């Protein structure tokens, strides 16, 4: 929305008007929160980091010159903040109590025992989602970011190249690599179970 409205709101927010800033970010709150959630796979972190992103944007809004649309600039700060934080955490990883443990079969089963009462399909779906999320956590920061923007947030390639400030070719190759890597990881992670389930589901749907 590169409208006059946006320009007016931005200039008002630059003067410290929080109400104007609120208007600017309102439409993006859920998206930014979701990006952070997919990046960190943890609701607590998602909240903290997404709010940190908005505060950062508010603090630096004077630096926004209007060369791109406000939302592009917002998502650029968001992805950069997430990537920086992910890199910072590497090596000193922390686990919160309710965080899913990667490829640890025992603990995964314990978690899913809670869901068993529900329909079988839902349980399988949930498990598949967890596996996807776990596999995503193994991707490099750049690949993860590209994948989240494209396949989870549905951004166009052109928009992604603006947000990540790189060429369209780079975006294409990053997305392509990220997807292939993800699939490889998924198959490697749970070779039999996953394939079986896929086959079962395929047969079921046919």
Partner 1 sequence: MSCEQFREAMSPYIDGLLEDNEKLLFEEHLKSCPNCNEEFEQFKEIMKEIHSLPEIELPDHYHEELLLKLYQKKEERKHQRKVFYQNWKVLSTLAAGLILLIFVIENLGNMGMDAKQELATEQAAPGAGTAGVYDMAVEEESASNPMIFSTERATANEVTRDGVESLAQENTQTFMKVEKSSITERKIIYESFMSIEVDVFDDTISKIKAITDQSGGYVENSSSYIYYSEPERDIYLKQGSIKIRIPVEQYGAIQEQISKLGHLIHQQETSTNVTEQYIETESRIRMLEVEQERLLEIMKKAEKVEDLIKLEQRLNEIRTDIEIYKSKIKNWDQLVSFSTFTIEIKEVKEVEYIKSTDPNFKTKIQSSFIKSLNDVREGFERIVVVLAYGVIPCTLFIIALGIGFLIGKPVLKKILIKIRNWREK
Which residues of the chain form contacts with partner 1 (CB under 8 A)?
16, 18, 21-22, 26, 29-30, 33-34, 37-38, 43, 46-47, 51, 54-55, 58-59, 128-129, 132-133, 147, 150-152, 157, 172, 175-176, 179-180, 182-183, 186, 198, 201-202
Cα distance between residue 171 and residue 88, in whole Å: 24
**Minimum distance, C-beta of residue 55 to partner 1, in the bound complex (Å):** 6
Please give the Cα distance from 199 to 201 (Å, whole number): 5
Nearer to partner 1, 77 or 182 (CB): 182
3-class state of residue 41 by DSSP: coil
Minimum gap (Å) between residue 18 Cβ and partner 1: 5
Tokens linked to 74: 């917002």
Phi and psi (nearest 5°) for 65? -100, -5
Whether residue 123 contacts residue 112, with contact meaning beta carbons closer than 8 Å, is answered with yes
Of residues 67 and 96, the one with the C-beta less far from partner 1: 96
Instruction: Tokens 């968001």: give the residue.
Output: 78
Question: Looking at beta carbons only, is 46 or 163 nearer to partner 1?
Answer: 46
69 vs 133, beta carbon nearer partner 1: 133
Distance in angstroms (rounded) separating the CA atoms of residues 114 and 110 = 8
Residues composing the chain = 206
Q: State in angstroms the smallest separation of the CB of 157 from partner 1.
A: 7
CB of 180 to partner 1, least distance (A): 7
């Amino acid at each position: 929305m590169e409208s006059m409205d946006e320009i007016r709101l931005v200039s008002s927010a630059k003067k410290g008007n929080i109400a104007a800033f609120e208007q600017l970010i309102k439409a993006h709150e859920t998206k930014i929160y979701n990006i952070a959630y997919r990046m960190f796979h943890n609701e607590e972190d998602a909240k903290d980091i997404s709010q940190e992103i908005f505060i950062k944007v508010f603090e630096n809004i004077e630096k926004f010159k209007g060369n791109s649309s406000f939302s592009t600039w917002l998502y650029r700060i968001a992805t950069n903040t997430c990537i920086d934080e992910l890199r910072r955490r590497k090596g000193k990883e922390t686990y919160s109590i309710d965080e899913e443990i990667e490829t640890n079969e025992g603990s995964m089963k314990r978690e899913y025992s809670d869901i068993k009462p529900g329909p079988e399909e839902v349980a399988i779906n949930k498990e598949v989602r967890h596996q996807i999320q776990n596999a995503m956590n193994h991707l490099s920061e750049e690949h993860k970011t590209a994948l989240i923007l494209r396949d989870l947030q549905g951004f166009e390639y052109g928009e992604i190249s603006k947000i990540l400030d790189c060429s369209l070719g780079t975006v294409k190759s990053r997305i392509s690599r990220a997807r292939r890597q993800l699939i490889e990881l998924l198959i490697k992670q749970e070779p039999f179970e996953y394939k079986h389930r896929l086959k079962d589901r395929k047969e079921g749907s046919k």
